[in-house]
């Protein structure tokens, strides 16, 4: 299936959902219909594994108001940061499976499962996967002081000069660190990692050429690429970079495994949540993801709105988890 086919299917699914809502009185009337049938009898909380202000916190707050209207109960975002996201994961995983506790995760949940000392569980098998909310690439960028203007030049330089350039990560064993390890393994290069405790520190040293390469979410490097302070090299994910479509994808440069590392955010429920409740939560999420204001907010943060089915989300979790497991093995042994 081509990228264009995937995009067409996604568009068709959104239009079908909108048409169905229109048939029942439209999006504005739908909450009244749903409220009479809703499983929710008290406030629904969406646990976020990070502090307020992070991308998954922002996305949870984008979708919560529409979900609240659909379910007929307050939907409250609850931040449970700490322990590489494991505190929030544990809280959601062990909650009563009645639909009143949900989890808004990022792809980092997969990395933590393989690099944490005592992970509380397996996110692939210990949660119900409802839908991916948004997706985006990880973008590779380099400081122009190194005289490299594209990926081919970068690869040639690294193969001729192993270890000459360094890259930054926001933490040892995190998802970006593991992505970088698979990238270096597949590209056949040696590029030492420097670990930081915040993306802001990576950007400071990247702009100062203390490190030469950065791998970040799309919004972090966008203004610096636009100003010429950084040069984009490549993006991950199944589609061109929404901000810089001329940048090659990992598949374009012959690294399909690297392409499979995506910067997604998803909605989950505790294991064994009844199917009728999962269906209602999925429909509430779809109502949010077809709300023009929500779409605008997500796209303004350099992400693409997703509408994956539960089965599609579960399959993606399983597939990507295998890559994270391999990457964890590279740094552990």
Q: For the segment 85-96, what is each residue's pLDDT rounded down to a tens digit?
A: 999 999 999 999
Within 10 angstroms of residue 7's Cβ, the number of other Cβ atoms is 13
Within 8 A by CB and 6+ apart from 39, the residues are 71, 98, 99, 276, 277, 280
Q: What is the pLDDT of residue 175?
A: 94
pTM of the model: 0.85
Residue 231 has pLDDT above 90, yes or no: yes
pLDDT grade, residue 130 (50/70/90)?
very high
Within 10 angstroms of residue 15's Cβ, the number of other Cβ atoms is 11
pLDDT grade, residue 333 (50/70/90)?
low
What class does CATH assign to 139-259? alpha beta
Q: For the segment 210-222, what is each residue's pLDDT rounded down to a tens digit?
A: 999 999 988 899 9
Among 4-8, 132-136, 202-206, 282-286, where is mean pLDDT lowest?
Answer: 4-8
Grouping H, G, I as helix, E, B as strand and the rest as coil, residue 281 is helix
The fold for domain 3-136+264-332 equals D-Maltodextrin-Binding Protein; domain 2 (3.40.190)
Q: What is the pLDDT of residue 18?
A: 40
Residue 185 has pLDDT above 50, yes or no: yes
Residues 193-220 as b or e (16 or more Cβ within 10 Å = b): beebeebeebbebbbeeebbbbbbbbbb
User: What mean pLDDT comes out for the span 40-51?
Assistant: 97
Q: What is the pLDDT of residue 247?
A: 96
- Scanning the structure block, which residue is given the tokens 């995937």? 6
Q: How many residues does the chain have?
A: 333
Report the C-alpha gap between 193 and 195 in whole angstroms.
Answer: 6
Within 8 A by CB and 6+ apart from 25, the residues are 32, 33
Inter-residue contact 43 to 103 (CB < 8 Å): no
In angstroms, how far is the first alpha carbon of the chain from the final one?
37
Strands of the chain, DSSP E? 44-48, 75-79, 101-106, 127-135, 139-142, 167-169, 193-195, 213-216, 231-235, 265-270, 304-305
Residue 176 has pLDDT above 90, yes or no: yes
Residue 23 has pLDDT above 60, yes or no: no
Residue 28 has pLDDT above 80, yes or no: no
Nearest to 43 by CA among 94, 77, 9: 77
Where in the sequence of the chain do the CATH 3.40.190.150 domains occur? Answer: 3-136+264-332
Inter-residue contact 131 to 310 (CB < 8 Å): yes
Inter-residue contact 160 to 186 (CB < 8 Å): no
Residue 275 has pLDDT above 90, yes or no: yes
Within 10 angstroms of residue 185's Cβ, the number of other Cβ atoms is 15
Q: What is the pLDDT of residue 81?
A: 94
Q: Which residues pair with 214 in a beta bridge?
A: 141, 168
What is the DSSP annotation of 186-233? HHT----EEE-S-HHHHHHHHHTTSS-EEEE-HHHHHHHHHTTSSEEE
């Amino acid at each position: 299936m081509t990228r264009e086919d995937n995009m067409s299917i996604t568009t068709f699914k959104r239009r079908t959902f909108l048409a169905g809502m229109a048939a029942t009185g439209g999006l504005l009337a739908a909450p009244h219909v749903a409220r009479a049938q809703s499983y929710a009898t008290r406030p629904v909380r969406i646990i976020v594994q990070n502090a307020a202000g992070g991308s998954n916190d922002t996305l949870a707050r984008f979708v919560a108001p529409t979900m609240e209207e659909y379910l007929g109960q307050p939907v409250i975002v609850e931040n449970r940061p700490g322990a590489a996201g494991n505190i929030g994961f544990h809280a959601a995983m062990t909650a009563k499976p009645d639909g009143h506790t949900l989890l808004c995760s990022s792809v980092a949940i997969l990395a933590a499962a393989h690099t944490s000392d005592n992970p509380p569980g397996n996110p692939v098998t210990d949660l119900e996967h409802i839908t991916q909310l948004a997706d985006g690439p990880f973008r590779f960028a380099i400081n122009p002081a190194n005289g490299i203007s594209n990926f081919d030049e970068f690869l040639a330089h690294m193969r001729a000069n192993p270890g000459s350039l360094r890259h930054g990560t926001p933490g040892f064993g995190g998802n970006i660190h593991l992505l970088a390890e698979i990238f270096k393994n597949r590209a056949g290069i040696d590029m030492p990692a420097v670990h930081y405790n915040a993306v802001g520190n990576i950007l400071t040293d990247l702009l100062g050429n203390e490190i030469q390469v950065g791998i970040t979410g799309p919004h972090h490097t966008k203004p610096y690429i636009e100003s010429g302070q950084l040069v984009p090299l490549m993006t991950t994910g199944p589609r061109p970079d929404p901000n810089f479509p001329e940048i090659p994808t990992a598949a374009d440069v012959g690294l399909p495994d690297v392409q499979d590392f995506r910067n997604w955010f998803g909605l989950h429920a505790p294991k064994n949540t009844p199917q009728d409740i999962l269906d209602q939560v999925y429909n509430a999420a779809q109502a949010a993801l077809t709300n023009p204001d929500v779409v605008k907010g997500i796209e303004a943060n350099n992400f693409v709105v997703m509408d994956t089915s539960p089965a599609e989300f579960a399959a993606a979790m399983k597939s990507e988890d295998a890559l994270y497991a391999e990457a964890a093995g590279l740094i552990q042994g």
